[in-house]
Structure 1
Amino acid sequence: MNTFTPAPQALDLGGSWNLTWTAGPVDAPSYATSGAPIRASVPGQVHTDLMAAGLLDDPDVGLREADQMWIGHSQWTYARHFAWDGTIAGERIELVAEGLDTFATVTLNGHEVAMTADQHIGYRWDVAHLLLPGENLLEIRFGSAWDAAHECEVQVGELPRPYDEPYPFVRKSACNFGWDWGPHYVTAGIWQPIRLEAWSGVRIDSIRPDVTLDGGSARVGITVGLDRQGTTSDVSVTAVLTAPDGSEVARSSVAAGADRAVLALEVADPALWWPTGLGDQPLYGLSVTAGTEGHVLAEGTRRIGLRTVVVEEEPDAVGTTWALVVNGRRVRVRGYNWIPDDPFIAEVTEERLGRRLDQAVDGGANLLRIWGGGYFSTEEFMAGCDERGLMVWHDFLFACAAYDESDAMIEAVTTEAEQAVARLSAHPSLVIWCGGNECVWGMYDWGWPEILQGRPYGAAFYTEVLPGVIGRLDPSRPYVPNSPWAGSMEKHPNSRDEGPVHIWEVWNTVDFVHYRDVDPPFVSEMGWCAPPAWSTLRRVVTEGDLVPDNPQVAHHMRAADGMEKLARGLEPYFGAPEAAEDWHYLTQMVQARSQAVGAEWLRTRERCAGVVIWQLNDCWPVLSWSAVDGDGIEKPVWYALRRSFAERMLAIVPVTAGGTDDPTGPDGLEIVLVNDGLDAASADVVVRRLTLDGAEVGRAELTLTAAPDGTARTALPAALTEASDREFLVADADGLRSTWFFVPDAALAPSGPSFTARASADGGFLRITVEAGSLLRDLCVFADRLADLLDVPAPDLTVDDMMVTLLPGETVTFTVSRRDGAPLSVPADLSVAERSPVIRCIGDSAALAGTPRPDAAEGTVAS
């Protein structure tokens, strides 16, 4: 964590404030227009304060989103009194606001202190001359960010963007204005801590370490940003580095310059920070003090990791490779995109954040990409990634739109970037900066030139402003101008030949087997949509069945033509399920299969150095691409990807890319062992060709040995790969399994699945054992459906596995537990836990229907 000012020199101004409505739409409710103060909590936002006061019903539920639209078009005032007795003293007394959302006028005792217009900037103002002995009044008046953005649009002119909302015109979280996975909640408020700080002589503004490795030692260059007061001279700065065990390993002191000090520390035999799975994550303590003649005037601390990171690009037969290299070792990325975990940041507690990061790591991920339409990461988020070995790709805050390049906008973005880089650059988990999301791509494919008519679209930010900040403040960390990116502004950014790419044509237009058409160097976005857990969707859909034509269900689907795309994905495999339970389960199965197929294919490609799924998390209960829904429940895709992201992974895939009209590919099938581990991996693989009733009709036995960060593969004999609509392949090796079906489910026409299930209590857990009497595909236990039986809220229950394929005679035991580790109180009658909808597998619903497309060869879903 980052600390600078000693605690006695700060007066926290958070906590209880008064909130009043100042102006706004004529349809604002009477509780607002009455002018009566509402208790507010700081940090916080207007929406959360109104909900806490019982004045606003949860806008996530039903169609209530419409009931809060007036909030974002209103003006609000936060006010609080505080006593000033000079307890904290210094030559300079500053009001420090780490984040104001967004257009604010700050007054102290009736005197204007400042006006703000950027959610992403922290502020500090000298207010010593405005403080009064005794009681003081601090007021912050917030204007409507939506109205301000609209006024700016009138002045600047139209800027292309995907939604008819003016988000590109203001420096505020873009997704506050709605997104294809998020609600339209235009927020306002004191969303970050606020306090008074006192200091004299010198203040430490930033601590930026820069690590280089040379043989068996590390050099830590440290740049300390300083703020001086008055005529203080002869300031010295001392940096002390302590090992993870607390022992001192290096110390250095220098005379400070006018606004900074530069020091260097040498560390022999350093303990290196590694991404999860490749080593440990030791964190060193860095303490910096500034003072005169032995008197400490300011101090700050950081936790840092010793590691290096570069992007390695090498020409190959296709184009250019693109890979992250940490401490000299290429790291195959298995990641997720991260969106804001809640529209209201104050709702994201450190405990909730920790659970979400654990879900990423437990699901096999080693990287999270912070998408550019939200906000800069918090210290808690980055510290959590440091500790877990989760690498962070961090976008700057631009998303899917053209942006004005006015002097005022350039100044604001420069300040944002300088503050963010200075604050976050010490974190070893941060491995790459990115200029923004899909902002260059838009100029090529989305008709922007016709709208802009020669006006700039933001290229100066990605090619000049942001790399300029990185070059000055964080020169050793890689930077990529945009995602996707093909190496220069002159190349189509989503070329599959070089740089990170986005794969969206699969979800948008074709069957998921077409992930196998491509062999890119790196994938920074791909995804498939599905509903959240049944309990999550049921919580917010208060009327009717959970089916696509229910208006409340449709309201919680924001993807363009999302319901039609879900239906297109279902058709070749499951036809058009009519029952709500079947539609819900089967759409989740298609999402899980699609991402497993895509991830496994990409991981078996030698040139592909990473796949980052869109997306890990949700910010509300929505049908989306997430692996973890808005209530924190893992969807089946999370379990499928946990296998596909495993350090060792076995997959049956076509021999070459493309040719998916032929289920086995133009050159047949191969079995691939993927090894992301530190040591070579060897596996004795048995590949069997089975009939649907489990009879073996063919077999191959082979051994695969994959080097670290490598793959091993061999083609399967034609005797195994000749297509049959009632046979399939299963490959087993040391607990790993991969399957291949030659035709989709709708063409299999199997008899209904046969199994027995037995539920029992076991030491505070619920165990559900399933024995297969026939082939069971995509066998799942949905723990949230046991909430009533176990008298536990659905989000607090979890199950250890899903997406299991069992052959006839095989058995699996699922364990249901509480997330907090407390024992379950299991009732005597567990019959509910032994049948649908708790237990589901393919074919346990109505007979499959529909005509499969010839290209819909499903392929491998490891289980």
Structure 2
Amino acid sequence: MKYSLIAILLLLLTSCEAKHDLPIATALQDNWQFKAVNDSIWHVATVPGNVHADLLDNKLIEHPFIGANEDSLQWISETDWEYKTTFSVPNETLSKKHIALNFEGLDTYASVFLNDSLILKTDNAFRAFSVNVKSVLKPQNKLRIVFEHTSISEEQEKAKLGYQLPEGNRIFTRKAQFQYGWDWGPELNTSGIWRPIMLETWNDLRLEDLTIKQRLLNDSIADMTATFDIKSEVIKDKELVYEVYVNDVLHTTSKVVQKGHTRTVPFQIKSPKLWWPHNLGDPYLYTIKMVLKRNNSIIDSVSIKKGLRTIALVTENDTRGESFYFKVNGVPVYMKGANYIPQNSMQNKVTDAHYEKLLDDVVDANMNMLRVWGGGIYENDIFYDLCDEKGILIWQDFMFACAMYPGDQSFLENVQDEATQNIKRLRNHASIALWCGNNENSEGWHRWGWQANRSDEEKDEIWNNYLKVFDSILPKTVNEFTDAPYWESSPKYGRGNPKYQFEGDAHDWWIWHDAYPFEHLEDNVPRFMSEFGFQAFPSYEAIRYINQSDSLEITSEGFKNHQKHVRGFQLIDAYMKRDFPVPDTAEDYIYLSQILQAYGITKGIEAHRRAKPYNMGTLYWQLNDCWPSVSWSSIDFFGNWKALHYKAKTSFENVLISNTVENDTLKTYGINDSLTGFDDTFTYIITDFDGKVMGTGTTMNTQLNANSSQLIHTLDVANLNINKDEVVVATMFANFHSYAYLVKPKDLKLKKGAIKKTISKTSNGFEIKLESTTLQKDVFLYTKSKGHFSDNYFDLMPNETIIIEFKTQEGSLDDLKIKTLNDLMD
């Protein structure tokens, strides 16, 4: 419940003479201390938080993100930790009929003591727990929570099982799986009070679990219901008035008598404004308030933001297999985006500003969908609130990843409660497009050798336990509590199954893991690509932080600890040699690794988009980092855009001109994700790297249909009187353009040449004007000043001027440097 709105409601909804007895919730976040259970010295703690962050803030450990410090901190996860606080409760609060302590997130095996009475034991970091403490609470109170390290329970559960489940003991504990270490993140298995603890009091009645449902939605009417639960002991229905306010205007007053604890109040919105993904329209949100009154007094109230939209996952048989696409408001929508992981291994370090900036970066890069990956967390409310506001759709995994899980009754009941709570918490969000059961569990079972050396009985039991969760509990719970679609496992088929390309969603890791060339992405397009990626080094800033040095050393043991893929450096090097010149210096190598990543992944993005409507989505791995590292991210830990994020911004534009060369034919596609078609003139211009025109052509009245991908031009380059390694082809349609090269980057005969730069101060930073007499490939602007370039890693055409904005709070830009691919060519 959003009690911060109480004061506003008192002013807006009642007269000054009315009496109010509203539920009150107070966060217990002060006076916390912590220590190791076997220690005697207490230290200041932050709540919400975690033990790693508390140890760091008290300067009891070195920062785990620096060098190889992570390795020396593994003792933390093998230690039991204790937290305590004291708090006062006034007599007025003690006199309330109902008093509860609500624990919104304890990580993970916790024993909670209030005034030395054991009131709760927990075993799931993803669940909230509520305890009636009316009989235990006093004017002065002591709250103590003991966290047992996870390996104790995990070993006990493992011993009960009688056989080994993939992948390790993490599968027994319901907490963020990535904390056990991943191929992009550290092993920091933390514990603590990671979400708020609230003291909630109320007297006669409490309203909870408000759900706004759409019974009918069209251009003229939104037929809605507000469904909610009532916690009440003495109030009768006939004494209550239910009021629904839409954008602060009273829409419905109801005195209908109903049986049971769940109430439903119908209301309508005329000429409703629809919620759209930001690239197709306005993500409009209504403010809907439910107010309960008795004798003109407010007893309780809840307010939520609600976007009105329909969404469907369409999986229908066709001539090539089975479709996989989303319809929003009845319109097929092409999904463009990335996979999202937790923003920090120490979650309390993620501020509201971090959420705001990262999701602004998502919108700025023309993405309309993020996939919340199943090895992380069900995100904080602010994440989904901002996605609603910004028009970003969410593919929401349940928190199961890359493993097989147990199926005993206790585990299944735990999962049931976890699913129910999180679905209910998130179901009002317009941004939730899909609930997906797990990440790669099914693929792992069928393709990763997990069945080897097991008896048939054992294999049957493991698979049946899988079905209990992902084919029974989760889909039934999704169906019961929300209208969102459910998908069992991502991907539907592993890449060992030929059906992966024709049905469902796909993860293509032939790129990277199997070292296939990037061209594989162009030749093997699935119905929906929900994962594919390639690593790159982070920014110079991140590397200097890791090394705690001004140098860009990338061979030290400390830095190598931030490459968690066993073949990561080797694969980057192998791919670079295929397509690019290999630099001599670390600074150049870091730069070129980002160009390499962007080159390969955008090749895939554009191939997917060209195949529309056969393919209807492309989500690359991964958007962000949880610590500074060499990883698949397009934005590094410090929020710096890698080349991939800049290039993806272009490749994700609503209208895209995309080129590909097939058998000496340059094919130009017009891709239009907008819902309006148009026609204009198509032009191509072939120039050499000094700007000399080698050929040109124009086609009038070229039509580009709404929500489509079309081949709009072909050019036979075999018969042109040009040297393919010395030209660039500019393809232009309306106000959109693209540059095509006819050979690999390493084969281009780029010329050395100076770039003229002119820097001017602006109110938000600086304007940078760039000019060159020769083509400059992959121009990289960099500085130690903290800020953001409006564009980077771009191609500067000969004799043209580009203006770049650098947004910063710095007063000067004296150290601006420029690096290009030209500089690296022999």
TM-score, length-scaled by structure 2: 0.92
Q: What is the DSSP-based 3-state SS (H/G/I as helix, E as strand, rest coil) of the residue aligned with 1:16? A: coil
Does the 8 Å CA contact 1:92/1:126 hold for their aligned counterparts? yes
Deviation at 1:232, TM superposition (A): 4.8
Tell me by how many angstroms 1:576 deviates. Answer: 3.0
Structure 1 letter corresponding to 2:652? F
Q: How far did 1:22 drift?
A: 0.5
Report the equivalent of 2:812: 826
**Does the alignment pair 1:347 with 2:320?**
no
Q: 1:504-523 maps to which residues of 2 (within 5 A)? A: 504-508=509-513, 509-523=515-529
Structure 1 counterpart SS, 2:798? coil
**Counterpart in 2 of 1:172?**
175
- Alignment partners' CA distance in 2, 1:128 and 1:4: 24
> Partner of 1:254: helix, strand, or coil?
coil
**Alpha-carbon contact 1:557-1:622 (below 8 Å) kept:** yes
- The counterpart of 1:640, out of the listed 644, 647, 658, is 647
Q: 2:598–2:647: 8 Å Cα contact kept in structure 1?
A: yes
| Inter-CA distance 590–69: structure 2 relative to 1 (3 Å threshold) | same
Do 1:502 and 1:523's aligned partners in 2 also have CA atoms closer than 8 Å?
A: yes
1:371-386 equivalent positions in 2, closer than 5 A: 371-386=373-388
Residue identity opposite 1:10 in structure 2: A
> How far apart are residue 320 of structure 1 and its match?
1.6
Report the counterpart of residue 274 of structure 1 in structure 2: 276
- 1:493 deviates by 9.6
Cα 1:210–1:720 shift into 2, 3 Å: farther
How far residue 586 of structure 1 moved from its aligned partner, in angstroms, is 0.4
| Unaligned stretches of 5+ residues in structure 2 | 7-21
What displacement does 1:3 show?
Answer: 5.1
Q: What amino acid does structure 2 have at the position aligned with 1:825?
A: G
SS in 1 for 2:388: helix
The one-letter code of the counterpart of 1:255 is: V
In structure 1, C-alpha distance between the alignment counterparts of 2:580 and 2:332, rounded to whole Å: 40
Work out whether residues 433 and 477 of structure 1, in 8 Å CA contact, stay in contact via their aligned partners in 2. yes
Deviations 1:19-69 (A, max 9, x none): 11104xxxxxxxxx4x21001111111111111222222110011112321
Counterpart of 1:153 in structure 2 is 158
**SS at 1:567 equivalent:** helix
Equivalent residues of 2:790, 2:806 under 8 A apart: yes
Residue 473 (structure 2) pairs with residue 473 (structure 1)? no
Give the C-alpha shift of residue 309 in structure 1. Answer: 0.7
The aligned residue for residue 709 of structure 2 is 711
Q: Which residue of 2 aligns with 1:216?
A: 220
Contact 2:509–2:532 (CA<8 Å) still a contact in 1? yes
How far, CA to CA, are the matches of 2:777 and 2:165 in structure 1?
45
Match of 2:260 among 255, 258, 261: 258
Task: Return the alpha-carbon distance in structure 1 between the equivalents of residues 812 and 5 of structure 2.
Answer: 51
Equivalent position amino acid for 1:597 in 2: K
**1:652 equivalent in alignment to 2:638:** no
CA distance in 2, matches of 1:721, 1:525: 39
In 2, the alpha carbon distance for the partners of 1:291 and 1:414 equals 34
Q: Match of 1:51, as an amino acid?
A: L
- 1:787-815 CA-to-partner distances (Å, cap 9, x unmatched) read 2xxxxxx3xx1111012112221121222
For 1:154-200, what per-residue CA distance to the aligned partner results, in whole angstroms no more than 9, with x for missing partners?
332555545xx421111000011111111111111111111211123
Distance 1:370 1:764, change over 3 A: closer
Change (3 A) 1:729 1:543: same
Taking the aligned partners of 2:724 and 2:448, their CA distance within structure 1 comes to: 43
Instruction: Indicate how the Cα distance of structure 1 residues 87 and 347 shifts in structure 2: closer, same or farther if over 3 A, else same.
Output: farther
Are 1:45 and 2:50 an aligned pair? yes
> Alpha carbons of 1:43 and 1:160: their partners in 2 closer, same or farther (altered >3 Å)?
same
Q: Distance in 1 between matches of 2:85 and 2:226?
A: 40
Superimposed CA distance per residue, residues 82-116 of structure 1 (whole angstroms, 9 cap, x where no aligned partner): 11233324222111111101100001111100100
In structure 2, C-alpha distance between the alignment counterparts of 1:681 and 1:844, rounded to whole Å:
41
Q: Against the structure 1 CA distance between its residues 104 and 764, is the aligned structure 2 distance closer, same or farther, given a 3 Å change threshold?
A: closer
CA distance in 1, matches of 2:819, 2:774: 14
- 1:799-846 CA distances to partner (integer Å, 9 max, x unpaired)? 11012112221121222122xxx4x3126xx3x32xxxx21111213x
Gap change, CA 1:708 and 1:82, over 3 Å in 2? same
Q: Per the alignment, in what secondary structure is the counterpart of residue 716 of structure 1?
A: strand
Q: 1:201 aligns with which of 175, 200, 204?
A: 204
**Residue 807 of structure 1: which of 797, 804, 813 is its match?**
797
Q: CA deviation at 1:390?
A: 0.8
Match status 1:390 vs 2:369: no
Match of 2:784, SS state, is helix
Q: Which moved more, 1:84-93 or 1:302-311?
A: 84-93
CA deviations 1:582-625 (Å, max 9, x no partner) are 11010010111112111111111121111112111111101111
Indicate which of 610, 617, 626 corresponds to 1:610.
Answer: 617
Tell me the equivalent position of 1:853.
Answer: none
Count of residues paired in the alignment: 798
Q: Which amino acid aligns with 1:750?
A: L
- For structure 1, the residue ranges without an aligned partner over 5 or more in a row are 24-32, 654-663, 788-793, 849-863
What is the DSSP-based 3-state SS (H/G/I as helix, E as strand, rest coil) of the residue aligned with 1:693?
A: coil
The equivalent residue for 2:590 is 584
- The structure 2 residue matched to 1:403, chosen from 389, 402, 405, is 405
Aligned to 1:778: 778
Deviations 1:394-441 (A, max 9, x none): 111111110111111110111011111111101111111111111111
1:12 aligns with 2:15: no
The answer to whether residue 65 in structure 2 is matched with residue 60 in structure 1 is: yes
Residue identity matched to 2:183: D
Q: CA deviation at 1:215?
A: 5.2
Q: Corresponding residue for 2:606?
A: 600
Which of 111, 116, 119 does residue 110 from structure 1 map onto?
A: 116
Q: Give the match for residue 536 of structure 1.
A: 542
CA gap 1:158/1:587 in 2 versus in 1, 3 angstroms: farther
How far apart, CA to CA, are the structure 2 residues paired with 1:742 and 1:675? 24
Residue aligned with 2:356, SS: helix
Counterparts of residues 112-127 of structure 1 (less than 5 Å): 112-127=118-133
Task: Give yes or no for contact 1:688–1:699 (8 Å, CA) kept in 2.
Answer: yes
Q: Counterparts in 2 of 1:63-102, with a 5 A limit?
A: 63-88=68-93, 89-102=95-108
For the pair 1:556 / 2:562, whether they are aligned, the reply is yes
Tell me, yes or no, if structure 1 residue 688 matches structure 2 residue 680: no
Give the 3 Å change call, closer, same or farther, for CA 825–557 of structure 1 in structure 2. Answer: same
When residues 544 and 631 of structure 1 are mapped into structure 2, their CA distance, relative to the original with a 3 A threshold, is: closer
Greater shift after overlay, 441-450 or 743-752?
A: 743-752
Q: Which residue of 1 aligns with 2:188?
A: 185
Show the counterpart of 2:310: 308
**Counterparts of 2:23 and 2:231, CA distance in 1:** 19
Alignment of 1:669-818 (within 5 A): 669-703=666-700, 704-719=702-717, 724-763=724-763, 765-782=765-782, 785-787=783-785, 794=786, 797-818=787-808
1:512-543 Cα shifts (integer Å, max 9, x gaps): 12210123211111111101111111111236
Contact 2:219/2:272 (<8 A) preserved? no
2:325 alignment partner in structure 1: 323
Q: SS at 2:282's partner residue?
A: coil
Question: What residue is the counterpart of 2:37 in the other structure?
Answer: 22
Report the Cα distance in structure 2 between the residues aligned to 1:235 and 1:550, rounded to whole angstroms: 74
> 2:256 aligns to what SS in structure 1?
strand
TM-score of the superposed pair, with normalisation by structure 1: 0.88
Distance in 2 of aligned mates of 1:238 and 1:622: 56
Report the Cα distance in structure 1 between the residues aligned to 2:165 and 2:573, rounded to whole angstroms.
30
Amino acid in structure 2 at the alignment position of 1:234: D
C-alpha RMSD over aligned residues: 2.5
Task: State the 1:701 CA deviation.
Answer: 1.5
Tell me the secondary structure at the aligned position of residue 807 of structure 2: strand
Contact 1:372 1:437 (C-alpha < 8 Å) held by counterparts = yes
Contact 2:769 2:801 in 1 (8 A): yes
Mapping 1:834-853, distance limit 5 Å? 838-845=817-824, 847-848=825-826
1:758–1:768 contact (8 Å) kept in structure 2 = yes
Partner of 2:428: 426
Deviates more, 1:731-740 or 1:630-639: 731-740
CA-CA distance at 1:773 after TM superposition:
1.9
- Residue in structure 1 matched with residue 338 of structure 2 by the alignment: 336
